[in-house]
Structure 1
């Protein structure tokens, strides 16, 4: 049994496992799920958190970061909408709830977590959008958050506004 395709000289990727998700990535994924639920139902954040804590894999998430994201976005909703709205091509109500939740998460991290490089914030939001969003939703999230970063982190992102 060969480990390289004929003539390619490259190893076969067949049975390779994808890289493990970090605790921070998991916290973002659970936060987007919670924000989705909150946007759709406006259920209490504590009730949403209790549901998510029972979900498979939650124990591997960064719990403090998850709480910061879920409750921080809910508390800062108006401010985050003000940061996002100038950069979207439709009304907030017309965004898919997954894109909306992911944009809120990314905008919150850009605004409130300066210790996380803006490129990491955008990349993580894009990866979450790829996991939960529509086919090209991640492209939309990337474009919007890139413009939000240019405004919220103009020195770090290079003033592109």
Structure 2
């Protein structure tokens, strides 16, 4: 049966699932494959974009920390001092900015901000917005410049 879920909502659900999985990996240090199975059998997975979830999970299940470390020059504190939620959201946003040029950078940042508003601390969304905006200016300079005109 074909899903009637719009692509953006399905991708949003994929981001939420990866966020949950990265959080679980950080706190419980569960094996990536075990977490993946748990996520794929969780309530609401059927609303996710399975291919998008797969690509994101493959990249971030073991690579989220390295992606966040590359953002270190943009942070106002050491990466080790970030909350698990902030780390996960920044990893997701950075991955999308780096690897998914078909998604406009403003959409990537807005989606990360929404995750931070839903799952993060009080002003975490402002922090996420600032870091990813600076990262976008670096990795998507032409797109950012074109939007500024």
Q: What's the TM-score, normalizing by structure 2?
A: 0.86
Matches within 5 A, 1:66-145: 66-77=53-64, 79-145=66-132
Matches within 5 A, 1:46-65: 46-65=33-52
Q: CA deviation at 1:74?
A: 3.3
Contact 1:83/1:107 (8 A) holds in 2: no
Q: What's the TM-score, normalizing by structure 1?
A: 0.80
Distance 1:132 1:155 in 2: 31
Contact 1:25/1:61 (8 A) holds in 2: yes
What is the number of residues matched between the two proteins?
A: 140
1:24 match: 11
Contact 1:83/1:148 (8 A) holds in 2: no
Q: Which has the higher helix share?
A: 2
The answer for unaligned runs of 5 or more in structure 1 is 1-20
